[in-house]
Amino acid sequence: AAFVRAANIVKAYGDHRAVDDVSMDLKAGEVVSIIGPSGAGKSTFLRCLNFLEMPTAGAVTIGDRSVAVGPDHATPSRKDLAALRRNVGMVFQSFNLFPHLTALRNISLPQERVLGRSRQEADERSRALLARVGLKDKADSYPSRCSGGQQQRIAIARALALDPAVMLFDEPTSALDPEVGMEVLAVMRELAGDGMTMVVVTHEMAFARDVSDRVVVMVDGAVVEDGSPEVVMSDP
């Protein structure tokens, strides 16, 4: 059975369908890369998965939570959206860290606010996550004192700290120099190896080929290919 299911997602801006009837199923632990030209709707689709964008129509299921949108459905309640979102971690192209908080507090504060963890509990978990992304010694540093690759790894740790069932990545290395991007890709590779369920919008063909269980190609708002990296990426 699918662990994450996006069914018939449509996102229209005016009469332009940025996402035009896209469906995608992931098993627990599966890693799917979404590739395709700029403007294909990859980012919009990803943002529909956690209702950062409200789809025009379609349904998203994550674990035992389901939210359906469209003419045949009542507007989803804030409560239903919050419950579904809580299972989803998201990492953006821009790191979106809080500039006035240290790396440690960037990771621990959301745990206090969202999960009601105590400061001590949250800080302990944050230190473990900083170690996991290779930034043990950056706990007390502010984002401005960290490289782009370090900031992105802090952003990944912050998302993981909320114990999501699935992680969404929207071109996480696009804003980074290639060498620095490698540090981030290495962390993502480890996460995949640990069995995290992941959807990754990326231009990194090596990552898509080597780490993904499946590669989905989007063009003009639609899925044009969906298969193993060997099959999808061997195209002439």
Q: Is residue 42 part of the contact set for ligand ADP (CB under 6 A)?
A: yes
We find the least distance from the C-beta atom of residue 55 to ligand ADP, in angstroms, to be: 12
Among 5, 25, 83, 93, binds ligand ADP (CB under 6 A): 93
Question: What is the C-alpha separation between 68 and 57, in angstroms, rounded?
Answer: 7
Are residues 213 and 228 in contact, defined by beta-carbon separation less than 8 angstroms? yes
Nearest to 166 by CA among 26, 11, 1, 19: 26
We find the least distance from the C-beta atom of residue 104 to ligand ADP, in angstroms, to be: 29
- What's the one-letter identity of residue 220? D
Among 23, 27, 29, 39, binds ligand ADP (CB under 6 A): 39
We find the least distance from the C-beta atom of residue 59 to ligand ADP, in angstroms, to be: 19
Question: What is the C-alpha separation between 38 and 141, in angstroms, rounded?
Answer: 35
We find the least distance from the C-beta atom of residue 118 to ligand ADP, in angstroms, to be: 35
| DSSP alpha helix (H) spans, 135-221 | 148-160, 178-193, 205-211
Question: What is the C-alpha separation between 3 and 61, in angstroms, rounded?
Answer: 8
Q: Is residue 96 part of the contact set for ligand ADP (CB under 6 A)?
A: no
Are residues 30 and 196 in contact, defined by beta-carbon separation less than 8 angstroms? no
- Per CB under 6 A, the segment of 35-43, 64-72, 160-168, 191-199 that binds ligand ADP is 35-43
| Contact pattern for ligand ADP over residues 46 through 85, marking x by CB under 6 A | ----------------------------------------
Which CA distances in Å does 218 have to 44, 60, 190?
11, 18, 26
Nearest CB to ligand ADP, comparing residues 29 and 39:
39
We find the least distance from the C-beta atom of residue 134 to ligand ADP, in angstroms, to be: 26
Q: Is residue 15 part of the contact set for ligand ADP (CB under 6 A)?
A: no
Question: What is the C-alpha separation between 138 and 9, in angstroms, rounded?
Answer: 40
Q: Is residue 98 part of the contact set for ligand ADP (CB under 6 A)?
A: no
Instruction: Write out the residues near ligand ADP by the rule CB under 6 A.
Output: 13, 18, 36, 38-44, 93
